Amino acid sequence: MNITSKIIITDTNIITDLDNANLLEKFVKLDNVYISDMVKNDEIKTSTGDINLIKQIKVIETSGEQFLEMMELKKENKKLSTYDLINYILARDNNFILATGDNRLKDFAEKNNVEVIRTLKIIKLLNEKSIISSNEAINACELLKLNPFTRIPEEKINNLINELEKDLATC
């Protein structure tokens, strides 16, 4: 997976996580981050993150055909939201990487051959591409752990911190 491939942000969880980790600006500045028109228009609010940064994310529009396909998929996949399905379709149709914090959407997308990326993988890739230092990545993970609303299991966050600390020790 390449962090410089096209990415579509599917849900507000990723934006909120990266904002809480103080990495949203660096992620948005990758110049290949997209958000669907529906998510931007319907789900983004001040509690999601820094609105000025979110406004910098490129918007990809949903076509009428994609919307109709979403309606059909919704009949078969009642546990996935309208936004989940639209973003799955947009990622699939544009060969984008799907960024989501939603486990159901992750499983559905991967089952249907759409590449998925999650918050901790984003942090790891930002570090691997020298967009952020190992110390910045560790600090981002610590910020996620401190946030009482983080849905990412602490064990997974600690695993990434340990990996990053080992990398620092070998430098």
Going from the N-terminus, what domains does the chain have, and what CATH number goes with each?
Answer: 7-119 (3.40.50.1010), 132-170 (no CATH)
pLDDT given at position 43? 67
Tens of pLDDT, residues 78-123: 999 999 999 999 999 999 999 999 999 999 999 999 999 999 999 9
Over 80: is that where the pLDDT of 169 sits?
A: yes
Over 70: is that where the pLDDT of 144 sits?
A: yes
Burial 62-87 (b: 16+ CB within 10 A, else e): beeebeebbeebeeebeebbebbbbb
pLDDT given at position 10? 73
Tens of pLDDT, residues 41-85: 776 666 777 777 878 889 999 999 999 999 999 999 999 999 999
